[in-house]
Amino acid sequence: MSVTFLAGATSQSVDIFLKDSSSTTGAGLAGLVYNTASLTAYYRIGATGTATAIALATQTVGGAWSSGGFVEINATNTKGMYRLDIPDAVLASAALVTIYVQGAANLAPTPLRIDCRPVPVVTTLTNLPAIMPNWLTAAGIAASALDGKGDWNVGKTGYTLTQSFPANFSSTSITAGGVVKSDLTTIKTQTVTCASGVTILSSVGTAATSTAQTGDSFALANGANGFVAIDTVVDAIKVKTDFLPSATAGANGGVFIAGTNAATTVTGSLTTTFTGSLTGSVASVSGAVGSVTGAVGSVTGSVGSVVGHTPQTGDTFALANGASGFVAIAGYIDTEIGTLLNDLAAVLVDSGTTLDTKINAIKAVTDVLPDSGALSSLATAAALATVDTVVDAVKVVTDQMVFTTANQLDVQPISMASAAETSLADAILNRGASNIENTADRHSLGAVIMISTNSAISGASILAKKPSDDSTFATYVITSDAAADNLTGIS
């Protein structure tokens, strides 16, 4: 493959076809990139040049030229075709140049021949024949033929240039720099017709009936002095507006407005005297309030909650809802105590003890006590003896309770009727060994059952078999004695 360039050409690219060495059909090799492992490119200029490496670089198919740029053009439609950006040094002088690409896996080494030819030099000029007389005449050139065709100097006479100018153009003058001067004194005395037929008179400077039109412009009153006056006023306004925040009014950092304002944070001290009335509601106050100095007259309405307040010595609190609040509290306490008693009764019944019975007996005694008045008349010897008897009975029961862990009653032995014991024993005896063959200890009763019902001798060992699949449950070593009597039966 070979291409031709003129010597000294710069920023040149070439398409090069790279073959797949593993293909028997000469197919191109796809998937190469500038930094593929072992991929290299060299160039050699002329018959005496040395192989010089080309630093391959990343590139895109349509990207600007970049020395050594290398990119696959299209792996599907032009498989094996790559773009290579030729370094300018390769084409600097006229010579035959060879570029050599090789090294990557399955890449057939590929040479590219470049014929870098010298730039042609013109040494002889040929004069064109002279134009025949009357061959080019004014009559033969259209009036617009030379429009926009540059500066023509045909060396002829008899031509006239015409151009339309404004009617008052003759009263103006143009300076060497191209500035048009006008006689403003004369212009301002003229009658000017504006849109919709409105006429502005020469007295427009003072006429009160003049209506400004779109596009009108006016001279500054008092000339430069007018600028000074305006500048002074603007400076005075700026002194005041400098105190205004840059944020939009009502937004975070802006001034307060009558309406919705963004949340505002005051990071320093805020001292103010508020003598008017504050009407409305405060949704919430977040954060700590250090102190409030002075008396707070009253708070009308309900306070939802106060979070984070620590009661102080001397604080007093009104009972919510007055006397009705006491009634509500009493009812709540009664309900909770009743719930606790019901739970305790259920626990005592479930534990199988007779404590609930003893408590009922105590309650029968206490029910006869008066609700008010002195109890001294009841503290007779007979009454005390009765109470003592009941307490002793309760103690007999409680003495049987065991509390290994504080506040936790240990499980007590449960007595079982004879019929229930027999039923439980039968269930144990009828339970098959297959139910425990995977969990039984090798020295358990289940192991004995499996040895006696399904076992085999293996050398000096006996193998106990599982009932379900005849696999080995456990292996036991047999100790023999030749003098021992043989077991011939069990009766």
pLDDT in tens, 336-374: 777 777 776 665 555 555 566 767 777 777 777 666 555
Q: Is the pLDDT of residue 208 over 50?
A: no
Residue 426: which H helix or E strand, with range?
A: helix 418-430
Of 50-54, 131-135, 238-242, 485-489, least confident by mean pLDDT is: 131-135
Q: Please report the domains of the chain, with CATH numbers, ordered by start residue.
A: 2-117 (2.60.40), 348-366+379-414 (no CATH), 433-477 (no CATH)
213 vs 132, more confident: 132
Q: Higher-confidence residue: 178 or 19?
A: 19
Residue 166 has pLDDT above 70, yes or no: no
Q: Which tokens go with 273? A: 């005297």
Angle between helices 355-366 and 322-350 (to 10 degrees): 140
DSSP string across 196-247: GG-EE-TTTTT-TT----TT---PPTTHHHHHHHHHHHHHHHHHHHTTS-SS
Which amino acid is residue 351, in one-letter code? S
Query: Distance (Å, rounded) from C-alpha 186 to C-alpha 275?
Result: 68
- Span 303-331, average pLDDT: 63
What digits encode the pLDDT tens for the residues 428-473? Answer: 778 888 888 888 888 888 888 888 888 888 888 888 898 888 899 8
pLDDT of 203 reads 47
Looking at residue 74, what is its pLDDT? Answer: 96
68: confidence class by pLDDT, cuts 50, 70, 90? very high
Global pTM value: 0.30
pLDDT band at 323 (very low <50, low <70, confident <90, very high): low
**Is the pLDDT at 92 greater than 90, yes or no?**
yes
For the segment 138-161, what is each residue's pLDDT rounded down to a tens digit? 666 766 766 666 655 555 555 566
Distance CA 191, CA 169 (A): 17
Are 247 and 239 contacting, i.e. CB atoms less than 8 angstroms apart? no
| Per-residue model confidence (pLDDT) at position 445 | 84
Confidence of residue 385 (pLDDT cuts 50, 70, 90): confident
In three-state secondary structure terms, 184 is: helix
Q: Quick check: 30 pLDDT over 90?
A: yes
Residue 207: per-residue pLDDT = 41
Residue ranges with strand state E in 271-387: none
Cα 371 versus chain centre, distance: 71
What is the mean pLDDT of the segment spanning 380-384?
73
Asked whether 312 and 319 are in contact (CB, 8 A), the reply is no
Mean predicted confidence (pLDDT) in 385-400: 82
Winning range, highest mean pLDDT, from 82-91, 142-151, 247-256, 269-278? 82-91
Local confidence band at 424 (pLDDT 50, 70, 90 cut-offs): confident
DSSP-derived 3-state class of residue 479: coil
Q: How far is CA 471 from each of CA 463, 474, 476, 477, rounded to the nearest angstrom?
A: 9, 9, 15, 18
Q: How many CB atoms lie within 10 A of CB 28?
A: 18
pLDDT surpasses 60 at 192: no
